[in-house]
Structure 1
Amino acid sequence: MNLRHRIARTALIAALLLSSVPAAAENVLLTLTGAVTDGRVELTRADFDAMDWHEFATSTSVTDHQPEFRGVLMRDILAHAGAEGSQVRAAALNDYVVDIPIEDFYQFDVLAALYMDGVPLTPRDKGPVWIVYPRDDHGVLADIRYDMRWVWQLVALHVQ
């Protein structure tokens, strides 16, 4: 099969897959599975808006300045989902996966950030959801172990 046929075939498969996705799925920003209410909780922007919002400025390992982040505390998301477990497996759009101890979310005010410097995060800019630690508030957070837990383009949490 030549390159042109492969591209056409890939485009057809993508179109078929996208056409089978319900319209409501487009509004889901974050899906929680595992030890959560009914085994699956899908959070939309309206769900995020119904929770308390927080903000802080902190340095990151991937920005040149100290951005202001705004979002919902990760522990509030877990409470909303009825999560019970000791860790979450966080998964991103780019297939990055990392296990994060749930204890982090209670020890620190970790955000599920939807805004950086007042601008909504998009998949192009590490969004729509980015796990952000208050790095400058706690010296221990300036460690690579925590840097690995800053999941951008977050789409799913599996509670274990």
Structure 2
Amino acid sequence: MQHTKRLTLTAMVMALCAIGALIKIPVFSTTAALDAAPAFISAVFLPPLYAGIAGGIGHMLTALTSGMPLGPFHFIIAGAMFIVVSVFALLHRRGQHTLKWVWALISNGILSPLPFYFLISPAFYISATPGIVLATVLNLVLAAILMPILQKVFARKGVHAA
């Protein structure tokens, strides 16, 4: 039963990521959207592995709704999102609340696009990074606003995180 509940919650987070993927952030040369916020928020109630899966698939949904401008390179980004959100959720579980935000901002905004410095060009990395940082900040602000609210709702209803 617990496994079914986790899969259902993960699917619901992915659906929210799909909705966020439709809310584009107009930045140069990237597929930025509000797809990551639901995945970061899911750290409240999903184990790190499941939250990471939601984050990775959330990025793929953004890429698909943007026309896959980087082609198969989006699989690299989805893998990076999996790692970023999984570690974020792990830090959340361990009570490392300041570190989780710093981790998410640096890893998603600066380190995740780093492979494209070598795969595409330094100019692409330099032009894309400010937009990715902006999108990361917007996703994190949204998550920071909603996570405490969701935690209070869970506590009031007597629901324990998975």
With normalisation by structure 1, the TM-score equals 0.32
Larger CA Rg, structure 1 vs 2: 1
With normalisation by structure 2, the TM-score equals 0.32
Which structure's residues are more often strand, by fraction? 1
